[in-house]
Structure 1
Amino acid sequence: MTPSDVPARRRRGPALIALARFQLAGYLRSLRFMQPLIPVLLIVVLVLKEWSNDPRHVDAATGSLGDAAVLTFLIGAWAARSLLDTQPDEQRALSITAAGHPVLSAAAGLLAAYTVALCLGLLLLAAPLLQCLSVGVPPTPMLAGVGLTALVAFSGTALGALTQRAIIPSPGYALPALLCGVTTALLLSLGPLAPLSVPMTGWLRAAHDGPSAFVQAFPGLALHLILWNTALTAVLFFLTRRPR
C-alpha cells in the first residue's frame, strides 16, 4: 500500500455513510417506506390485541419473540428490494462513480436497506417485548430476542438485495426471484437441508419451548445466521463487481 492509498482508505468510511444517507433520503421522499410500514403496524396492533388469550403467558410471550423474527425476515427482504430499486439507473451509475468502486456503492445500499429492515424489525418486536415485560419474562430472553431480530433483519436485507434491479434488471423476473428465495429459505429450514438456510425452525422451536430453551439455543442460532449472512453478502458483492 502506497502513502497515497491511505487518504483514499480514510475517505471510504465517510463516503459509505454519505451514500447510505442519500439512499435513505430518497427512499423516504418516495414514500415507498409506507408499503412495509402499514403491514407492520397492523401486525403490532393485532399482537397487542390478542396476547392475553393464551393461558401459558410466559412461554407464549417468549414464543412471540421468535414469531417476530420470522416476520422481520420476510418484511426485511421486501423493504430491502424496494429501497435499492428506488434509485433510477442513471443515479445509481453516478453513485458508483462518486463511490469510486461498485462494491463500496453496494455496501452503502446494503447499509441503508439494513437500517430500514432493522427499524421495521424493532417495531415488530416492540409488542412482544411489552408482552414479555407484562408477564415477567427474564431480561436475558428479551435480549436474545433483540439480538435475533438484528441478525435476521440482515438476513432478509441480504436476500432482498440479491433481487434488486442492479442484479436482476427485469421486474418480471426480480419479483418472482424474491418470492422464490423467501419460499426456498422457508422450505429448506423445515428439512434436512436446514443448515443451508436461515434456522427459522430452530429459533421458532426454541422460543416456543420457553425462556431457558431460547437462551440456550441463541448462541448456535446466532453463529448460523452470521455464517449465512456472510455467505449472502459475499455473493452480493461478487455479483455487484461482475462486469455487465
Structure 2
Amino acid sequence: MFEGQPKALYALSLANTGERFGYYTMLAVFVLFLRANFGLAHETAGLIYSTFLGFVYFLPFFGGILADKFGYGKMVTIGIFIMFFGYLFLSIPLGGGSVALACMLGALLLISTGTGLFKGNLQVMIGNLYDSPELQDKRDSAFSIFYMAINVGALFAPTAAVKIMEWAQTTLNVSVADSYHFAFAVACASLIVSIAIYYCFRSTFRHAEGGKKKAEAILNKAQKPQADDTKARIIALCLVFAVVLFFWMAFHQ
C-alpha cells in the first residue's frame, strides 16, 4: 500500500493530520466550554454546536466552486490561515459577557469558512497527484493512507484537550472555564504545524494545485455522459448520501 507512493501524498496527509487534530481537539470540549464559560442551557449550546457543524459540512460546496475558478492550492492556503485565526480568537480568554460571546461566534464563522475552503480541496489535490497513467492504480491505496492520517489526528485530539486543561488547572491554577482556552490554543498550534508542513513540501505537489485553466482543460476533454449513466450515478450518490446522513447524525450525538 505504501510502496511507490509520491512524497506529496505524505506531505498533504500530515498537513491534514494537523488540521484534523486541531479541529477535533476544539470539538471535543466545545459544548462543555459553552456551558462553563457562558452558562448556556443544553438546548442553546446544542443549537450553536449543530449550526456550526452544519456550516462546516455545507461550506465546502462553495469552496469547491471557488477552487474551480482560482485553484485548489490557493483555496487550501487561504482556508488554513482563516482557520488559524478562528482558533486564535477562541484561545483568547475574554470572559463570559456579550462581547466574548460575539467573538466566539465570529471565531466559529472563521473556522467553518476556513474548513469549507480547506477540507474538500485538499482531497481533490490528493486525487490530482494520481492523474498520470503510472500512478492511477495507486489512487485507492493513497486515499486509504490519507484517511488513516485523519484518524490518527482524531484519535489523540480528545485526550490532548483534556490533558492540557488538567495541566492548566493544576500547574497554572486557572479556572475550569479559562482552561478551555488552552485546549483551543493547542488547536491553534496544530494549525501552525500544518502550515509549516504544507509550505515546506509544497514543491512536491504544486502541480496538483489546479486552477481555472486546468478545470477548463478537463471539461474540454471530458465526454458527455449518456443519460443512463447519469441516472445510475445520481441514484448511487443518493444512496451514499442517505447512509452518510444517518452516520454523521449518530456520530455527533
TM-score bracket for this pair, using the shorter chain length: 0.3 to 0.5
With normalisation by structure 1, the TM-score equals 0.37
With normalisation by structure 2, the TM-score equals 0.36
